[in-house]
Amino acid sequence: MSATVAAIARFLEESGRLETLLAAPGDDLDRIVLTGVDTDRAAGPTDVTWRRTPAASATEVGAGLLICPGPVPDGPRAGHVVAVCRAPRFAMVEVLTRFFAELDVDREPVYADPGLAEMVTRNHSWVKNAIVGPGVTIAQHVTIGCSGMGYERDATGRLVRFPQLGGVLLEADVHVAAQATVQRGALGDTVLRRGAKVGPHVNVGHNVEVGEDALLTGHVQLGGSCRIGARAVIWQSAVIANGVRIGDDAVVGMCSCVRTDVGPGEVWAGNPARRLR
């Protein structure tokens, strides 16, 4: 499973999404072969990735191919190509579906201890696409590594699924309580750091990172790509919006709806949430 930058560029041009292709002088796009996908921060020279906002500098692009909107202020380095596209997220959907569909499968989990697999079976839980560290406990009817709610609307308004190709990393001593859900990353991984505790009926969205010893109590909802700091506490039924950052040692009160970042050590509550101290 691989594709050249030239093949992807032709596909994007034929679909009408490609506005400009930026490549270093002398780059042979038929020789730049892409074999995987990753987030824009982690992507390497054999990966394709995308971003919602323009690249601040093409010279900082690490991916073999970056799909993004314009304008891009300068030219990329050799071997790193930028495709300036209309609706870059939808362009990425089409590229993944056309060239990397084989990645869109469930992978068997990797357990640090064989006893963890027995625990999952005994508790009637479902775990795929995950690396599960030592000392992790997974309670009854937990779902780990399922696809999240990633969709993009096409020109007619129809919802088109964004392929979910990432995984889940549960570091040592994480606890996931009954009926909780931890979604796999869209690109890259959803991560629960060492000692994080996830309460019953919690939903952890795609590409979330939960910090060390953070506590998510029952029915908490974490939107995609949000960040929960180390030792933070999120009380019952609070909702953290997509992309929001909760600082280390922060506290969010029960039933709160948090749509803006919360600083380290701050206490927030309410709907919409506001800072109490």
For 167-193, write each residue's pLDDT tens digit: 999 999 999 999 999 999 999 999 999
Domain boundaries, the chain: 3-103, 110-275
Query: What proportions of the chain, in percent to the nearest 5, are helix, strand and coil?
Result: 15, 30, 55
pLDDT for residue 262 is more than 80: yes
pLDDT for residue 57 is more than 90: no
Give the residue numbers annotated as catalytic, written as ranges: 206
Per the CB < 8 A criterion, the answer to whether 103 and 187 are in contact is no
Per mean pLDDT, which of 23-32, 63-72, 191-200 is the most reliable? Answer: 191-200
d(CA 178, CA 158): 35
Tokens of 214: 């953070």
Q: Quick one: pLDDT band at residue 73, thresholds 50, 70, 90?
A: confident
Predicted confidence at residue 74, as pLDDT, reads 81
Per the CB < 8 A criterion, the answer to whether 225 and 149 are in contact is no
Angle (CA) 162-142-255 rounded to 5° is: 80
Cα pseudo-dihedral 31, 90, 24, 102, rounded to 10: -20
CATH placement of domain 110-275: 2.160.10.10
Q: How many residues does the chain have?
A: 277
Q: Quick one: pLDDT band at residue 76, thresholds 50, 70, 90?
A: confident
| CA distance from start to end of the chain | 53
pLDDT digits (tens, 9 = 90+) for 2-26: 999 999 999 999 999 999 999 999 9
If residue 7 lies in a helix (H) or strand (E), which one and from where to where? helix 5-14
Predicted confidence at residue 154, as pLDDT, reads 83
pLDDT (average), residues 199-220 = 98
CATH class of 3-103: alpha beta
**Span of 93-97, 212-216, 235-239, 254-258 with lowest mean pLDDT:** 93-97
Closest CA to 169 of 185, 148, 188, 191: 191
Q: Quick one: pLDDT band at residue 71, thresholds 50, 70, 90?
A: confident
Token pair 């690490």 in the structure block, residue: 62
pLDDT digits (tens, 9 = 90+) for 111-158: 999 899 999 999 999 999 999 999 999 999 999 999 988 888 888 999
Main-chain phi, psi angles of 45, to 5 degrees: -70, -10
Per mean pLDDT, which of 46-55, 78-87, 133-142 is the most reliable? Answer: 133-142
pLDDT (average), residues 26-43 = 93
d(CA 237, CA 242): 16
pLDDT digits (tens, 9 = 90+) for 83-107: 999 889 999 999 999 999 888 899 9
